[in-house]
Amino acid sequence: MKLPYFSNARTVRNAMDRARMNSAIRTFDRFAMNGENGGMVSIEQLKAIGAADFQVLLDDITAADAGNKIFS
């Protein structure tokens, strides 16, 4: 109990990790799979985490919550 908010920090870290993974998947699909820009990606595009990457997390939470109705 010395670190009461440790669990919350871990949750935020996990959410950021998932958003980063979603960004990597989106970037790979866009440039490697679809061949956009000849497959060339800029550093800014590699580092970008957008709202859509977090929306995937929200959609997963909403779908998981459908049976429990924790969030309204």
Identify the pLDDT of residue 42: 93
Identify the pLDDT of residue 43: 94
Decide if 38 is inside a domain.
Answer: yes
Q: What is the pLDDT of residues 3-43, one digit of tens each?
A: 666 678 888 899 999 999 999 999 999 999 999 999 999 99
pLDDT at 71 over 60: no
Decide if 12 is inside a domain.
Answer: yes
Number of domains in the chain: 1
Classify each residue of 23-33 as buried b or exposed e, where b means 16 or more C-beta atoms within 10 Å of its C-beta. Answer: beebbeeebee
Decide if 70 is inside a domain.
Answer: no
More confident of the two residues 4 and 59: 59
Q: What is the pTM of this model?
A: 0.74
Host domain of residue 60 = 6-65
Integer Cα distance of 38 and 25 in angstroms = 17
